[in-house]
């Protein structure tokens, strides 16, 4: 029998990969998209199906995690077997700028969904996945971080997600709902939002190499993260809802790298080696050597990265490293793509776009301008 899934955040990085994955498994996939003044479905346009065609298996509904009646109506119409709550104001730095909105969407939004499932009597039918995060560990209390490591959130985003984590546990314990938290460490891809650090680097360096931008401005480049590929991580989101009993899992690679490493890898993909000089806010990265033809706009000695304290956070999460052994033992899950392979894929995609833009610019045509990141 065809299963039905409802995905909040379907227009985001994970939502788009998860929708592809579930369609391949034969699911009917419903997603919630926000009303915006311009198109915001680029990541799922390739799987869009004309709703006028019989047996379309992909359907989008207008909605918002801040709107209880909207969520309740959609759940009532869709009657999903599985709900994946991926929707969120997901940018940690932005959560310091908009803490109340972040709490409403990332915290109370989860409660609205859980309560609607209960209110509609779907609690025996519907399984619920909550997009929890390694940001819950914040000021880390134990390394590596596992399911039992105490939480210490360090941002309005993480505090809102902590509320959702416990609400998910509470609905499982109080009402017997099949509800799970995936505590996911950072995961990236060519579809990663342009203002998260990995994509900012791959896109920025590809632009600089093609002469479209002068320099990358970064925050704390000594920050350490456990980076995986979003494709590997959405597979695990689905696996968590296929077990006999609902449980929470850490999803990570178990390997840690610095933001600086990611800059060095990305530069290497473009044929560049870098020299880092100076310290603190005065640190810069200079081109030390160039091979190949991927960076025609650069010469040895060019400064391609500077520090801008604007990108420092009021409270930083300095280091995260996950222990995915529970996921491996109980579900047989292991990441297939390494952080360096992922970096190469991201640079290759961003270079393609940058080359296209450089060609347009060279021929007197408009190209999208670089924007705030």
User: Contact positions toward ligand NDP, by CB under 6 A?
Assistant: 8-9, 11-15, 32, 34, 36, 40, 64-66, 86-90, 105, 131, 133, 184, 186-187, 193
Task: Please choose which of ligand NDP, ligand GDR, none residue 102 contacts, taking the beta carbon within 5 to 8 angstroms, the exact cut-off set by kind.
Answer: none
Q: Which residues contact 352 (CB under 8 A, 6 or more apart)?
A: none
Q: Does 90 bind ligand GDR (CB under 6 A)?
A: yes
Active-site annotation holds for 341: no
Residues 135-174, mask of contacts with ligand GDR (x by CB under 6 A): x---------------------------------------
163 is catalytic: no
Tokens (6 digits) for 283: 């640190």
Instruction: Name the residue nearer to ligand NDP (CB basis): 55 or 69.
Output: 69
Which residue out of 133, 198, 202, 253 is catalytically annotated?
Answer: 133
User: Smallest distance, Å, CB 215 to ligand GDR?
Assistant: 12
Joined tokens for residue 223: 């920050």
Query: CB of residue 9 vs ligand NDP: minimum separation in angstroms?
Result: 3
In the complex with ligand GDR, the residue whose CB is nearer, 93 or 215, is 93
Options 36-44, 77-85, 110-118, 196-204: segment touching ligand GDR (CB under 6 A): 196-204
Residue 218 contacts which entry, ligand GDR, ligand NDP, none (Cβ below 5-8 A, type-dependent): ligand GDR
Contact between 102 and ligand GDR by CB under 6 A: the answer reads no
Q: In sequence order, what are the residues at sequence separation of 6 or more whose Cβ sits closer than 8 angstroms to the Cβ of residue 172?
A: 178, 179, 180, 246
3 binds, among ligand NDP, ligand GDR, none (CB under 5 to 8 A by kind): none
31 binds, among ligand GDR, ligand NDP, none (CB under 5 to 8 A by kind): none
Cα 309 to Cα 73: distance, rounded to the nearest angstrom = 45
Distance separating alpha carbons of residues 70 and 93, to the nearest angstrom: 28
Interior CA angle at 254 toward 252 and 256, to 5°? 105
Task: For residue 144, say if its preceding peptide bond is cis, omega within 30 degrees of 0.
Answer: yes
Question: Cβ-closest residue to ligand NDP?
Answer: 12
Active site residue 157: yes
From the list 121-129, 191-199, 244-252, 343-351, the region that binds ligand GDR by CB under 6 A is 191-199
Binding residue for ligand GDR (CB under 6 A) from 94, 316, 338, 367?
316
The site for ligand GDR, by CB under 6 A, has a size of 23
Q: Which of 33, 43, 172, 225 binds ligand GDR (CB under 6 A)?
A: 225
Task: Annotate each residue in 244-283 with x if it binds ligand GDR (CB under 6 A) or - if it does not, as one string.
Answer: ---------------x------------------------
Residue 195 contact partner, candidates ligand GDR, ligand NDP, none, CB within 5 to 8 A by sort of partner: ligand GDR
Catalytic residues: 133, 135, 157
């Amino acid at each position: 029998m065809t299963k039905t899934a409802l995905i909040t955040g379907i227009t985001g990085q994970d939502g788009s990969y998860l929708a592809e994955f579930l369609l391949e498994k034969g699911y009917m996939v419903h997603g919630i998209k926000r009303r915006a003044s311009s198109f915001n479905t680029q990541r799922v346009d390739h799987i869009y199906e004309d709703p006028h065609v019989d047996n379309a298996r992909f359907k989008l509904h207008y909605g918002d995690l801040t709107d209880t009646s909207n969520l309740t109506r959609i759940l009532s119409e869709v009657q999903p077997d599985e709900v994946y709550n991926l929707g969120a104001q997901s940018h940690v730095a932005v959560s310091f700028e908009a803490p109340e909105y972040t709490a409403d969407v990332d915290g109370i939004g989860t409660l609205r969904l859980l309560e609607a499932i209960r209110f509609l009597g779907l609690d025996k039918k519907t399984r619920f996945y909550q997009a929890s995060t390694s940001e819950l560990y914040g000021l880390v209390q134990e390394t590596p971080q596992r399911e039992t490591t105490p939480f210490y959130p360090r941002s309005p985003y993480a505090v809102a997600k902590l509320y959702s984590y416990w609400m998910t546990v509470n609905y499982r314990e109080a009402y017997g709902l099949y509800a799970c938290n995936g505590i996911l460490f950072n995961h990236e891809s060519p579809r990663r939002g342009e203002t998260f650090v990995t994509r900012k680097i791959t896109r920025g360096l590809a632009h600089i190499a093609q002469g479209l931008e002068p320099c990358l401005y970064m925050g704390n480049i000594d920050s350490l993260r456990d980076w995986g590929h979003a494709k590997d991580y959405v597979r695990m989101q689905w696996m968590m809802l296929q077990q006999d009993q609902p449980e929470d899992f850490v999803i990570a690679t178990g390997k840690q790298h610095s933001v600086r490493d990611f800059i060095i890898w990305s530069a290497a993909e473009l044929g560049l080696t870098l020299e880092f000089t100076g310290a603190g806010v005065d640190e810069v990265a200079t081109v030390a050597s160039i091979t190949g033809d991927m960076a025609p706009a650069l010469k040895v000695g060019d400064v391609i990265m500077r520090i801008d304290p604007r990108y420092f956070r009021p409270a930083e999460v300095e280091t995260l490293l996950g222990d995915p052994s529970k996921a491996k033992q109980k579900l047989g899950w292991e990441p297939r793509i390494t952080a360096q392979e992922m970096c190469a894929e991201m640079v290759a995609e961003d270079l393609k776009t940058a080359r296209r833009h450089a060609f347009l610019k060279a021929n007197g045509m408009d190209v999208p301008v670089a924007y705030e990141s």
